[in-house]
Amino acid sequence: MSRIKFQTPTGMHDILPEEEKYYYFIAEKAKKIADFYGFGKIETPILEEQSLFEKSVGKETDIVGKEMYTLKTKGNDLLTLRPEGTAPVARSYIENGMYNLPQPVKLWYFAPFFRYERPQAGRYRQFWQVGFENIGEEGSIIDAQLIQILSNFLEELKIKNTIIEINSLGDKECRPTYKKKLSSYFKKRENSLCTDCKKRRKTNILRVLDCKQDKCQPIKTNAPQILDFLCVKCKNHFREVLEYLDEIELPYSLNSSLVRGLDYYTRTVFEIFATDKESNKLALGGGGRYDDLINMLGGREIPACGVSLGVERLIELMKKQNEIEEKNDAPVFLAQTGNLSKRKSLKIIEEFRKKRIKVAESLGRDSLRAQLNRADKLNIRYVLILGQKEALDNKIILRDMETGKQEELELDSLIKEIKKRLKK
């Protein structure tokens, strides 16, 4: 009989301790940035009503149309594993009456999300994102500051060679005219479009600009550009965002085909890429303004702007560009041989814990040499050796690995003696 082998579901992966340290590192840096800029952390449920994403992200997007994990509960509710973070945050803002709080309300998250995507290298069906949302203000300075935060965050992670691409999608005043123009442009060239774009032309015309197929590139290049169709307000807003970025000397490049694919974006949209030696671009994340979203979800007219980054992408780059230093922060290692020593070890470790001194050990091993090897690998300066004889005499040997000196200490004054040495 063959044994059943269980595996993670396709496209999902375990995060083991070696990998987990990167997640911690990123979350810690995010928290520092969030604290500085006044963002409070929010955690929304992993499940939301399916219609929340249909109404916000949009039915005709890939995320909602193809990639959602939706399940029917015993009570016949359709719940979806959240595919993104902004709609749940907007839902929470409305549900908790956050418009009563001083505005803007600044929130951040670090959480897992789910999309049923084609499995490919570096893409997971359960993935983590870190995001910052600024809700309640429409000033262009908010957009610029979020981009600045994004850039500072990547700098904190020591991710180099990044470039910000930026565009404006206009608002409900000026976008319809542009979409009409675009629609008639692509209609005339329908036969030269790829199959997906033929569909997109009818359902989500802006997404045609997003197409990566070779076939669509020449038609895209000559398409009408949104910046030529912005109303005065949108034009000024966008110009100001760019001026702020110039002011803080943050380099960006305009990309008129950047549309972000989600229905709720208005005005400023941006993405950030890292480039490698071969100038390949790796998308790390992006965001934009979503002035209509809260209203679309049944709330008031509240402007907002946000950004999110894919954590696995960041980790991929961090692994290539810099290694997080492996720190062993235990200053003491306890080695033991013999039954009595072994028995005393647990108590000694507890005494260290009470004094908040970290002590490494290898209790499962009996061989002294194996234990000393372990201490050596961890690069620990003070090694305690508790042999059978010492255990009987209530003593312990302290070996200073740096000087090679060895001495015998009274077990009763061990912590005091170690503390003395650690102070030096």
Place of tokens 């994102």: 129
Taking the complex as a whole, how short is the minimal distance between the CB of residue 217 and Zn ion, in angstroms? 9
Taking the complex as a whole, how short is the minimal distance between the CB of residue 123 and Zn ion, in angstroms? 20
Q: 48 vs 292, which CB is nearer to Zn ion?
A: 292
Taking the complex as a whole, how short is the minimal distance between the CB of residue 133 and Zn ion, in angstroms? 22
Q: For residue 308, what are the β-bridge partners?
A: 131, 286
Tell me, rounded to whole angstroms, the distance of Cα 177 from its chain centroid: 36
Q: 112 vs 224, which CB is nearer to Zn ion?
A: 224
Q: 198 vs 353, which CB is nearer to Zn ion?
A: 198
Q: 173 vs 366, which CB is nearer to Zn ion?
A: 173
Nearest-angstrom CA–CA distance, 315 and 370 = 34
Transcribe 177-202 into DSSP letters.
HHHHHHHHHHHHTGGGS-HHHHHHHH
Burial 69-97 (b: 16+ CB within 10 A, else e): eeeeeeeeeebbbbbbbbbbbbbbbbeee
Nearest-angstrom CA–CA distance, 185 and 351 = 77
Taking the complex as a whole, how short is the minimal distance between the CB of residue 221 and Zn ion, in angstroms? 13
Nearest-angstrom CA–CA distance, 174 and 182 = 13
Taking the complex as a whole, how short is the minimal distance between the CB of residue 41 and Zn ion, in angstroms? 33
**Which residues contact Zn ion by CB under 5 A?**
170-171, 173-174, 194, 197, 211, 213, 216, 231, 234
Question: Taking a C-beta distance cutoff of 8 angstroms, is the pair 50, 70 a contact?
Answer: yes
SS3 255: coil
Cα dihedral sign, 222-228-229-230:
positive
Please give the sequence-ordered ranges of beta strands (E in DSSP) within 45-95, or none if there are none.
47-49, 69-72, 78-81
Question: Taking a C-beta distance cutoff of 8 angstroms, is the pair 151, 284 a contact?
Answer: no
- Percentages (nearest 5) of helix, strand, coil residues in the chain: 45, 20, 35
CA end-to-end span of the chain, whole Å? 63
Nearest-angstrom CA–CA distance, 114 and 117 = 9
Q: 203 vs 213, which CB is nearer to Zn ion?
A: 213
SS3 340: helix
Q: 87 vs 216, which CB is nearer to Zn ion?
A: 216
Taking the complex as a whole, how short is the minimal distance between the CB of residue 178 and Zn ion, in angstroms? 9
Taking the complex as a whole, how short is the minimal distance between the CB of residue 198 and Zn ion, in angstroms? 8
Q: 108 vs 238, which CB is nearer to Zn ion?
A: 238
Taking the complex as a whole, how short is the minimal distance between the CB of residue 292 and Zn ion, in angstroms? 12
Taking the complex as a whole, how short is the minimal distance between the CB of residue 285 and Zn ion, in angstroms? 24
Q: 173 vs 276, which CB is nearer to Zn ion?
A: 173
Cα dihedral sign, 195-196-197-201:
positive
Please give the sequence-ordered ranges of beta strands (E in DSSP) within 291-405, or none if there are none.
304-310, 332-336, 359-361, 382-386, 395-400
What is the Rg, in whole angstroms, of the alpha carbon atoms belonging to the chain?
28
Q: 197 vs 334, which CB is nearer to Zn ion?
A: 197
Taking the complex as a whole, how short is the minimal distance between the CB of residue 209 and Zn ion, in angstroms? 10
Q: 84 vs 292, which CB is nearer to Zn ion?
A: 292
